[in-house]
Amino acid sequence: MTRILLTFFLVSISLTLTAAELPKREMRAAWIQTVFQDHYSRRTPQQNREWLAEQLDIMAQAGINAVIFQVRPQADAFYRSSLEPWSRWLTGASLKDPGWDPLQFMVEQCHARSMELHAWINPYRITSSRKQTVPASHIARKHPERTIRYNGNLYFNPALPENREWICRVVDDIVSRYDIDAIHFDDYFYPYPAGKLKFNDSASFARYGKGLKLDDWRRANVDSLICDVAATIRDRKPWVRFGVSPFGIWRNQSSHPDGSPTNGLQNYDDLYADVLLWAREGWIDYQAPQLYWPLVHDRAPARELAEWWSSHAYGRYIFIGQDIEKCMDYDELSEKIDLTRQLEGVHGNCWWYASALTSDYKGAHTSLADLNINPALPPDYPWLAENSPLPESPDMLHISGRQLRWHAPASGSRETISDPVAYVVYRLDSSGTTAGIDNPANIEAIIHGENNWDIPEDYPAGTWFTVTALDRVNRESDPAVPVKI
């Protein structure tokens, strides 16, 4: 098993929130895209592994606790698949076996740093340029009648049941073979409108429309996909989350009285994605709306949109999608984080894009590390575990030399939601009271797969510690009986 030991860099800074007021649980995610990234194909497997590991190390220093890694950018694979070909963004034109499995590597490396791994999938896109072709073995070549070309690019026709079944097969294959924490869809459903160009699905509408209006029928097609994918995940591994990062506007107030005070493209009307319905029905576990605009904006003010999304969570999590470069260009990073921490319905942020963070664009990495001065556990998902007991507390906590050790709770086959998969080490005050676990400043380490932790040499005799267990949906056990050096 791989040892996870997070090193958190403490700095002396002035924050809007004091350390004790920072959230103990907060999503701090970053997207790593692979589409349009030909640098993967120009490196050797070892160079790719070293580069990705370095990226994760830098993100961990900024407090990132989840990585959204793009594994299926256009009906292809950044993982071993018997269903779809290797991605040309990984292999180049050859599409040959690259000799390594990026998704498996990222799962292991993320968990080794106490980060979640969300496998990011684009459901409908097949090509991304007019000149691009797909190999003869691809499902789109075998069944061209299941595709539609729009604005030069090829898409799976969202109307066809066989395409929904195919996408669910792909999702089930990933979920069944990889220890991922979530499946993640981005904002591409029906393609973004290209002027007055029409999406040519008239034949499918005539066959499947069943008296619906065209717009309602298209939304129903996407609704069916989301519902089916959710059921596929729950049937295979009920602890794996399903999240979507929609375009930042559901509907404008001019289109619907419950819409946002905006004037822009709309998920509901233009992409046929009724994301609020998916939350209300419980098909998805989180939304990360892409609010890539400044806080004050004439058509899409990010402040008012964040407040709008906060009040439209419907019992699921809202993580705000933030554009790192725009945050720094407008000097709004700190203010946007403060805003999300103040909104009751918002539970964190997702940062676009990881390379802007790791390259410290205009000081973004430094600023984020300061604002994330304490580690944070990712949110838990109690609705996925309604009939599952909390994980049991670690047993027989003791100190041997300068090492804290404990026994893991019993977990049977390790195939239940309540199985312990990680441990949180807390340093307590001089009284040894476990009330200290409510303060994220007392988190010393989050450990995955090992039952011990090396105590720093500068901690004096009399220092108290306790440990809790986290299960597959991040629920925390009661603390173990504290011990002291």
Q: Is residue 2 part of a domain?
A: no
Tokens of 116: 């979640």
Q: Round the average pLDDT of the chain to a whole number and report it.
A: 94
Question: At which of 379, 414, 435 does a domain end?
Answer: 379
Closest by CA to 179, choosing from 107, 129, 118, is: 107
Scan for tokens 């990933």, then name that residue: 174
State the total domains in the chain.
Answer: 2
> What CA–CA distance (Å, rounded) separates 100 from 78?
10
Measured at the alpha carbon of residue 453, what is the angle toward residues 451 and 459, in degrees to the nearest 5? 150
| Chain segment 258-304, per-residue pLDDT in tens | 999 999 999 999 999 999 999 999 999 999 999 999 999 999 999 99
Measured in whole angstroms, the distance separating CA 478 from the mean position of its chain's CA atoms is: 27
What pLDDT band is residue 2 in, cutting at 50, 70 and 90? very low
> What CA–CA distance (Å, rounded) separates 465 from 456?
12
pLDDT of residue 411: 60
| Chain segment 117-169, per-residue pLDDT in tens | 999 999 999 999 999 999 999 999 999 999 999 999 999 999 999 999 999 99
Q: Is residue 18 part of a domain?
A: no
DSSP class of residue 137 equals T
For residue 138, report the phi and psi dihedrals to the nearest 5 degrees.
Answer: -70, 145
What pLDDT band is residue 21 in, cutting at 50, 70 and 90? confident
| Chain segment 199-221, per-residue pLDDT in tens | 999 999 999 999 999 999 999 99
**Statement to judge: residues 224 and 94 lie in one domain:** yes
Domain hosting 363: range is 25-379
Question: At which of 361, 379, 397 does a domain end?
Answer: 379
**Statement to judge: residues 302 and 192 lie in one domain:** yes
> What CA–CA distance (Å, rounded) separates 129 from 73?
13
Here the CATH number for the domain that contains residue 331 is 3.20.20.80
**Statement to judge: residues 352 and 459 lie in one domain:** no
> What CA–CA distance (Å, rounded) separates 360 from 21?
26
Tell me if the bond preceding 317 is cis, omega within 30° of 0: no
Q: Is residue 286 part of a domain?
A: yes
Predicted confidence (pLDDT) at residue 15 exceeds the cutoff of 50: no
DSSP states of 355-373: HHHHTTGGGHHHHHHHHT-
Q: Whole-prediction pTM value? A: 0.94
Predicted confidence (pLDDT) at residue 13 exceeds the cutoff of 50: no
Half-sphere exposure of 480 (CA within 13 A, CB side): 29
| Chain segment 314-350, per-residue pLDDT in tens | 999 999 999 999 999 999 999 999 999 999 999 999 9
Q: Is 243 helix (H, G, I), strand (E, B) or coil?
A: strand
What pLDDT band is residue 413 in, cutting at 50, 70 and 90? low
Closest by CA to 167, choosing from 230, 104, 234, 87, is: 230
Here the CATH number for the domain that contains residue 398 is 2.60.40.10
pLDDT of residue 246: 98
Half-sphere exposure of 208 (CA within 13 A, CB side): 18
**Statement to judge: residues 322 and 433 lie in one domain:** no
> What CA–CA distance (Å, rounded) separates 151 from 197?
7
